[in-house]
Amino acid sequence: MKALELRPMGVGDILDTAFRLYRARFGTFILIVMLAYIPFGLANAIFLNSLGIQQQNPLAPLFNRSSENRSEQRPTTALTIQAPPSVGQFDPDAPFTPPDPMVAIGGGIGFLLFAVVVLPLCQGALIHTISAAYLGEELSAAQSYGRAAPKLLRLILASIMAGIVMMFGVCLFVVGFVIFLLWFMLVSPVILLEDLGASGSLGRSRELMRGNLGKGFLLLLVVGLLALAIQLGVWSVLALIPMPHPIVSAFLEAVVPGFIVPLQLAPSILLYYDIRIRKEGFDLERLASALGRPAIAS
């Protein structure tokens, strides 16, 4: 794929560029994401299985109901055998066994590490990969993670601070939450591409989004609907596949959403460049300087 052109873009252009990036660098994107999601999926599956909880596909009841309707149409004998509950399913007649506190604590710590540390680092690696595309440079997954790692602490602190503010937004109902979400949707690219701390990145993101909230909302809405449609399609396929063990289902339910992450993140990064071009005359020289790389002509 040749170097991307650094130019102002509308919502349609941003989405088209995001899909072209996804196709052209699919292998790198997926490797970056899976390095984070596969360990998380394994830990999540083991944790849920140890508690005797089976993660259910939301569409599975629909397919199960249709299967039951088909079976009801078949002739049956008077003898009915009650099958025992499968592994990981809830049995109302079974005695209650409290989960191992250490297992619960370990699972909680694992999820916290993924949400606060691993996921921001994964997002940072994707930002560097996408940004390098403007300079005609192709980064490996290891190179992308290596470039994002030095600013991991800032990413973590900014994510926590933005999350706290958005929790207050929930108190203001949906409108407050959406406004705060739009204010801070550029925090990650700001941290990785500008020399700002965690608190400064929140203010910088809000400044960039001033006058662009409508565009950001439309972009998030379209990307959210696309991600939902893809997720429903995946769930439909998984619901038709018999799983050999609940742990496999739990693993897939945790890992499969990772394939959508690059498509969800890329538009916000492209929006960041679009806004800086329009407001600040951002160009390849300044981008190369931000990335610490020489500019490469397309």
Domain assignment of residue 253, given as a range: 11-57+99-291
Round to whole Å and give the CA distance between 104 and 90. 18
Q: Which residue has the tokens 């004998």?
A: 77
Round to whole Å and give the CA distance between 30 and 259. 6
Amino acid sitting at position 113: L
Buried/exposed 88-126: b ≥16 CB within 10 Å, e otherwise: beeeeeeeeeeeeeeeeeebeebeeebeebbbbbbbbbb
Q: Which of 201, 216, 257 is nearest to 14 (CA)?
A: 216
Asked whether residue 198 is assigned to any structural domain, the reply reads: yes
Asked whether residue 241 is assigned to any structural domain, the reply reads: yes
Packed helices 213-240 and 246-255: angle between N→C axes, nearest 10 degrees: 160
Asked whether residue 219 is assigned to any structural domain, the reply reads: yes
Asked whether residue 91 is assigned to any structural domain, the reply reads: no
| Two tokens, residue 113 | 């590490």
- pLDDT the model gives residue 246: 73
Mean pLDDT, 10 residues at a time, the chain of 298 residues = 82 93 93 89 76 56 53 47 42 52 63 76 91 88 93 90 83 81 93 89 95 94 90 80 77 85 91 92 80 60
Round to whole Å and give the CA distance between 155 and 118. 11
Q: Which residue has the tokens 């160009």?
A: 283
Asked whether residue 129 is assigned to any structural domain, the reply reads: yes
Q: How many helices (H) and strands (E) does the chain have?
A: 14, 0
- pLDDT the model gives residue 77: 44
Asked whether residue 94 is assigned to any structural domain, the reply reads: no
| Two tokens, residue 280 | 């600040």
Asked whether residue 63 is assigned to any structural domain, the reply reads: no
Which are the contacts of 187, defined by CB distance < 8 A and separation ≥ 6? 158, 159, 162, 201, 202, 205
Q: Give the chain's domain count.
A: 1
Asked whether residue 65 is assigned to any structural domain, the reply reads: no
